[in-house]
Chain A
Amino acid sequence: MSAFLDFGSDAVLLAGLTGDNWRLKDYVARGGYESLKKILSERIAPEQILAEIKLSVLRGRGGAGFPTGMKWGFMPRGAPEKYVICNADEGEPGTFKDRDILRFNPHAVIEGMVIAAYVMGCARGYNYIHGEIWEVYERCEEAVDEARAAGFIGSRILGSDFSFELFNHHGFGAYICGEETALLESIEGKKGQSRYKPPFPANVGLYGKPTTVNNVETFACVPLIVKNGGQWFLELGRPNAGGTKIFSVSGDVERPGNYELRMGAPFAKLLEMAGGVRDGRKLKAVIPGGSSSPVVPGAVMMETDLDYDSIAKAGSMMGSGAVIVMDETRCMVRCLARLSEFYHDESCGQCTPCREGTGWLSRMMHRIEHGEGRPGDIEALDRIAHDIMGRTICAMGDAAAMPVRSFIKHFRDEFEYHIEHRRCQVADYV
């Protein structure tokens, strides 16, 4: 397959994947399903596995970075009907790591889900796959069939008294369905709209039953933690962020793609792996964690390490690890106009600040970009974004607002130039 399947020398999750060795036999040859076999044959107590997960400081890879062990610990013990769900609705612009994990190593996710189901006592799981990556859905269907035929899922798995059924479910491409409660609504056959929390899914989730939703990459880490121990995983990364992280690098780089690095590796290293800024241009800005995370000026980013705390210090978020690189020829007004249009299009329309605010932002940005900006627009943009933030049902409102505020904060001069001169400051480059 692709010649670009060089995920870096730190790769653990993506190590040795060629694109052709995704089948069950290949996974087993790489040592796959050993963790599951060990758990079921040695009857390892769920509490013991949970302790290892907690020790590993595995944090959710979908964007929020919530400690996985703690999340699993929220699931009520006695409840008769519980669900474990894999969030493969990877819709954040710039993010494409889950697609490759499922494409190249689907069984790692399946094994991770079965172990999670064992720990939390779930009899059913769903893998909710983004609607715009159909071939991945088909691959997951094949992989689940393989796993079922081999007895890794189904009733009485590997002769134990543990049973677990897993189903793939594909969405239709709505960004909001990546929000875990909207995802639950979607599985239930309803319109994808997030639910107000509390109650949290751990108490009232799918069909009103306790439910845990984790990201694809999170599940993929689980078999490795069980196999090599929580301490091993923790030591791969930093004290507050165990393991490795897959970064989807896109934008103005020579070799866009997924790269796996240890948590805490410097951004400069990632940029180097991606072949540096395209055509040797100057780095202007980086969105380090997917389109909803605040933009960071290039110079700051070059001094930043890639882990939750370091990126937060630089004024942004690790998010899903989607690194969007922008060089000096990029018009930041145009970039923000495009992002605002995306959030306007994807707002579910349920709650007022997001429904009305995203449309307002998008229309204003469109106007400014097209040379119809007015004095006061910048302040208005910032205020509208401020008024959306923290007042919506789900994080989508914040996701729409954060780029606006950060773009204005760091590149205000470009916006002012656009409004004053009715054209683009960097247009000469393009």
Chain B
Amino acid sequence: MSENAIDKSGWLNLEINGKPVQMPPGSTVMDAAQTLKVFIPHFCYHKKLSIAASCRMCLVQVEKIPKPVPACATPVSEGMKVWTRSEMALAAQQSVMEFLLINHPLDCPVCDQGGECMLQDAAVGYGKGSSQFQEVKRVVLGKDLGPLVSAVEMSRCIQCTRCVRFSDEIGGQMELGMIRRGDRAEIVPFVGETVESELSGNMIDLCPVGALTSKPFRYQARNWELSRRKSVSPHDALGANLIVQLKRNQVVRVQPFENEAINECWLSDRDRFSYEALNSESRLMRPLVKKDGVLIETDWQEALPLAAARLKNIVERDGGEALGVLISPHATLEEATLMSRLAWTLGCDNIDYRLRQQDFSNTSKDAHVPWLGMPIADVSQLKAALFIGSFLRQDQPLLTARVRQAARHGAAISSLHSVRADWHLPLAHENVVPPSQLAAALAALVVAAHREAKVAQALPKVFDEVTPLENDVAIVRSLMNAPERTTIFLGSFAQQHEHAVLLHALTQRLADYTGTTLAVLPEAANSVGLALINAQPQKGGLNARTMLEKPRKAYVLLHTEAPFDIAQGGTALTALRQADFVLSLSPFRPADEGVLPDVVLPDIVLPIAPFTETSGTFINMEGRVQSFYGVAPPLGETRPGWQVIVALARLLEQPFAETTPEVVRASCLPSADSIAARLSNRIDTALQALPKAAAKETVERVAGVPIYHADPLVRRAPSLQRTALAAPPRVMMNAALATRLNLVKGGAVRIRQSEENDAVTVVLSWVCDETLPADTVRFDMAHPLTAGFDVCGEFHLEAAP
């Protein structure tokens, strides 16, 4: 916004160090100083957290006030005169600096924060050379905060409480607190607990001293040894901006690149710590070719022509339709575009990136690209919202933080789902129903909205037998009563549901009646991008589900890991096992044998670069195009995916013109206008009949994608894998169902997906969860233990001996 566009009537005039500035009422002296780019030293103050005013480092002099006042907490007033470097201010800052240092260990040479420490910097800038302190220093014992955040040297803590305020205000759950008084005060987690927040790494950035440091990064490098390069997170569809930091061409740390429109100054833990997978043992350095059932390392000269020849054979023998191409929604726009083009030139239209989707009956929206429906930043400003079938916190950790901000400011947030929401924010209303009843529950909301909005046109027959309850009316009213900024979100569970299209159509109608926006929460880093470049069947080809249900002769997997990334895990295993040829393009070795019963090994694996070693483009949930360059050279003989596909095309005598990253990008990237024109959540498919309730005593399954099993990168990040959130899935159900299944407390459940003898059998431990609906079990997908199942279908559960 230009300077002229801001209405400054009612703003207050003040002076800092003689420089005039205008500020809106309610601003603080600190805000004014930042506007003027006058630096005031501080520790506890952080622009995204509540004001503590406790470190006293930002004391400044204000005219007519006899004592120095904290800039962070002092509101500006008309005619105010502030001095930040006056004798009074400097004396105050120096004394606070001395107080902060008397009990601080001064172990900078062995401290991980050394060189990037606010206390160190402030001590140089504002401290005195020496102190009269001659007493014994306080010692604070280290704390175990889990595998990501190190709190071993808590003697370094200066009690600024940034971490405490972060956990409460941004993380939504107060996992840390300050106990005891005076100089015995210390920061602790709850007794026997660690920090389990999916945003915990931000505490490391927030800690102004070396008390909280990054466990994976500890003692790896000094800040001044690192080169810093910008990149984009390849996990969820937010597209958090990263500063990737390298030492000797190896990524050793990831920190947020501040972008107010996207990730603010935060990162989720998977954005931050998944880099560990880049250097892990499971990285593939050379191509693999299967010989006698075993994958053998080889060179590109052998692997690439062999891959081309085998594809060519199958296409020549059985036609292009004998191929199936499964593209991960984490693939770059360039890789997916070139791969789709290659498939089409081979006469194959069996292309899809919607690997976890089950319902493809939407006949209308191929041209429409589902998206957030608004800028990401607007989510913080919501006044009311309804989330339908959303595992919000594990799918979109940072977007959840924005929803939390909205809730903190009074937004009425509601959820309709098959599990209770655990988003660490106050919910206005909640409705939990079995998966098969989701559509009926949504229909009840539609009927309630139809009544509340006094819609003249009668409802279609589909709704004839639907009666809304009090809670439905309350949810609808909470949406309609908010003056503006109301949105209904379709979450991953709704999108991956067997009745996804019906749910979408019902939601559309609910949004229309209540006058709210409809938002779709895209699954992965590039879901929106791949929809925009049409990485899906264009001429009646098979979609992700049918190309597995109707097995193909050959499959090409681009960044896709079967069965982990695929909803129909069991079907996928069967299809891949019978195929003549499976070609995988991946930065990683295939999942270890033994992890899954009967794992299917590809015939050829071509090592392609992960996001840090290739240029690429992701389009995020708000339709923002984010291109990035490789920040590190490809590891071993790894090559950027787009180069490999171009080379493969050349060998298949379908040469592409593209030779440089710039040319590739230019040829792949849709124009801004065409992106804007296609982003739409509208659905025009006619309403289908509401599904009948499941037969009595049928067990229904709810499954989410665990946050640290969602993509190949996080699955191989060792520290993330040690967190509580990465624990093996357990079967959850209410006590009534457990009793019916004769389960004993502390026992295990045997799960099979069919009665056949050779059916995949898995034994999981189970826990009682009374918040689940009747006859519903929850065990998450994408984990080695559960990935071999199709996400839906019948399940047979029995007590395991």
Contacts and interface: CB of A to CB of B under 8 A. Distances in A.
Contacts of A393: 53-54, 56
Interface in B490-528: none
Contact of B99 (A191, A196, A198, A387): A387
Given A198-B75, A367-B135, A391-B92, A345 B54 contact: no
A345 B66 CA distance: 29
A350 interface: yes
Contacts of A176: 181
Interface in B46-69: 51-57, 59, 66-68
B95 interface: yes
Contacts of B158: 352
B309 interface: no
Interface in A382-405: 383, 387, 390-393
Interface stretch (B182-190, B457-465, B775-783): B182-190
B408 to A, nearest CB: 13
Interface residues of B, number: 38
Given A196-B73, A349-B159, A391-B68, A359 B55 contact: no
B182 A349 contact: yes
B180 interface: yes
B56 A345 contact: no
Contacts of A330: none
A355 B182 contact: yes
Nearest to A359: B183
A346 B132 CA distance: 24
B98 interface: yes
Max chain A CB contacts within 10 Å: which of B51, B102, B183?
A: B183
Contacts of B134: 374
Interface in B124-146: 132-136, 138
B397 interface: no
Interface residues of A, number: 34
Contact of B102 (A360, A374, A391): A360
A380 interface: yes
Given A353-B56, A355-B159, A356-B103, A345 B96 contact: no
Nearest to B133: A360
Contact of A356 (B66, B99, B180): B99
Given A351-B54, A356-B103, A391 B182 contact: no
Nearest to B179: A191
Interface in B74-125: 75, 92, 95-96, 98-100, 102-103
A250 B274 CA distance: 66
A350 B133 contact: no
Given A353-B99, A360-B133, A391 B181 contact: no
A393 B44 CA distance: 13
Contacts, number: 98
Contacts of B67: 390-391
Max chain B CB contacts within 10 Å: which of A344, A348, A353, A364?
A: A353
A387 B95 contact: yes
A374 B134 CA distance: 10
Contacts of A345: 181-182
Interface string A80-108: 00000000000000000000000000000
B178 interface: yes
A358 B66 CA distance: 23
Nearest to A379: B132
Given A351-B56, A387-B98, A391-B96, A358 B183 contact: yes
Nearest to B43: A352
Nearest to B88: A390
Contacts of A376: 132
A391 B54 contact: no
B181 A357 contact: no
B70 interface: yes
Nearest to B182: A347
B54 to A, nearest CB: 4
A353 B158 CA distance: 12
Contacts of B102: 356, 360
A337 B700 CA distance: 71
A352 B96 contact: yes
B54 A352 contact: yes
B70 A196 contact: yes
B503 to A, nearest CB: 40
Nearest to A363: B135
B40 to A, nearest CB: 15
Contact of B182 (A191, A346, A364, A387): A346
A174 interface: yes
A352 B135 contact: no
Contacts of A391: 56, 59, 67-68, 92, 95-96
Contacts of A367: 135
A360 B132 CA distance: 10
B210 to A, nearest CB: 18
Nearest to B100: A352
Given A356-B103, A391-B59, A348 B96 contact: no
Given A363-B135, A393-B54, A349 B95 contact: no
B45 to A, nearest CB: 12
Nearest to B91: A387
Contacts of A380: 132
Given A353-B56, A390-B67, A174 B181 contact: yes
B281 to A, nearest CB: 46
A390 B55 contact: no
Nearest to A347: B182
Interface string A308-352: 000000000000000000000000000000000000111111111
A359 B183 CA distance: 7
A385 to B, nearest CB: 11
Contacts of B159: 349-350, 352, 355
Given A198-B75, A364-B135, A392-B56, A359 B92 contact: no
A177 to B, nearest CB: 11
A356 B100 contact: yes
Contact of A352 (B68, B75, B99, B181): B99
Nearest to B160: A352
Contact of A191 (B55, B73, B133, B178): B178
Contacts of A348: 181-182, 185
Contacts of A198: 75
Max chain B CB contacts within 10 Å: which of A348, A350, A354, A383?
A: A350
Contact of B185 (A349, A360, A364): A349
Contacts of B132: 376, 380, 383
Interface in B145-162: 158-159
B223 to A, nearest CB: 25
Contact of B183 (A196, A355, A374, A390): A355
Contact of B55 (A174, A351, A364): A351
Contacts of B182: 344-349, 354-355, 358-359
A345 B159 CA distance: 17
Interface of B: 51-57, 59, 66-68, 70, 73, 75, 92, 95-96, 98-100, 102-103, 132-136, 138, 158-159, 177-178, 180-185
Given A196-B70, A380-B132, 20 more contacts: A174-B181, A176-B181, A344-B182, A346-B181, A349-B180, A349-B184, A350-B54, A352-B96, A352-B99, A352-B100, A353-B95, A355-B185, A356-B103, A357-B99, A359-B103, A359-B138, A376-B132, A390-B67, A391-B92, A391-B95
Q: Give the top 10 A-B pairs by smallest Cβ distance, nearest first.
A: A349-B185, A387-B95, A347-B182, A356-B99, A359-B183, A390-B67, A196-B53, A363-B135, A351-B54, A380-B132
28 contacts: A176-B181, A191-B177, A191-B178, A196-B51, A346-B181, A346-B182, A348-B185, A349-B159, A349-B178, A349-B181, A349-B182, A350-B54, A350-B159, A352-B55, A352-B57, A352-B99, A353-B95, A353-B99, A355-B185, A356-B102, A359-B103, A363-B135, A374-B134, A387-B98, A390-B67, A391-B56, A391-B59, A391-B68
Interface of A: 174, 176, 191, 196, 198, 344-360, 363-364, 367, 374, 376, 380, 383, 387, 390-393
